[in-house]
Amino acid sequence: MATLHVIAHSPFGDERLRSCLRLLGADDAVLLCGDAVYALRPGAAPHQQLQQANLADRLFALDEDLQARAIENPLATAVDYPGFVALSLHYDKVNSWL
């Protein structure tokens, strides 16, 4: 059963994103929200980790958090709240990294 992993902490000085990527299943997806979207800043180490994870269309980010932080992001698909709800249902379960 595929999992949508939700991360809401900045990847700088925090282990959540790294651990999540280590344990990610082949069909799992990642949704970044809050300070976790800083991982999408090009040139930063977390951005490289995300690129290497090769998530393609399985990487999402909450649009309001991208906008608020002025993050131009070609790597993740931006979603609004209805999109977040739809993803929660598309995947079999939602694992929030609290």
Partner 1 sequence: MKFAIAVFSPAHAPSSRRALRYAEAVLAGGHEIARLFFYQDGVHSASANLVVPQDELDVAGQWRAFIQANQLDAVVCIAAALRRGVLDEAEANRYQRPAVNLPAPWELSGLGQLHEAAQLADRLVCFGGD
Partner 2 sequence: MAKSLLIISRQAPWNGPSAREALDIALAGGAFDLPLGMVFLDDGVFQLANGQQPAALQQKNLAANLQALPMFGVDALFACGHSLASRGLAAGDLALPVQVLDDAALTGLITQYDQVVTL
Residues that bind partner 1 (CB under 8 A): 7-10, 33-36, 62, 81-82, 84-86, 88-89, 93-94, 96-98
Residue 15 binding result from partner 2, partner 1, none, given CB thresholds of 5 to 8 Å by partner type:
partner 2
Residue 70 binding result from partner 1, partner 2, none, given CB thresholds of 5 to 8 Å by partner type:
none
Is 1 a binding residue for partner 2 by CB under 8 A? The answer is yes
Q: How many CB atoms lie within 10 A of CB 85?
A: 11
Write out the two tokens for 48.
Answer: 């490289």
Residue 22 binding result from partner 2, partner 1, none, given CB thresholds of 5 to 8 Å by partner type:
partner 2
Query: What minimum distance in Å lies between the beta carbon of 36 and partner 2?
Result: 13
Distance CA 59, CA 27 (A): 11
Q: Is 34 exposed, middle or buried (CB count within 10 Å of its CB: 0-12, 13-18, 19+)?
A: middle
CB 6 within 8 A of CB 33: yes
Give the end-to-end CA distance of the chain in Å, rounded to a whole number. 21
Judged by the rule CB under 8 A, the positions of this chain that interact with partner 2 are 1-3, 15-16, 19, 22-25, 92-93, 95-98
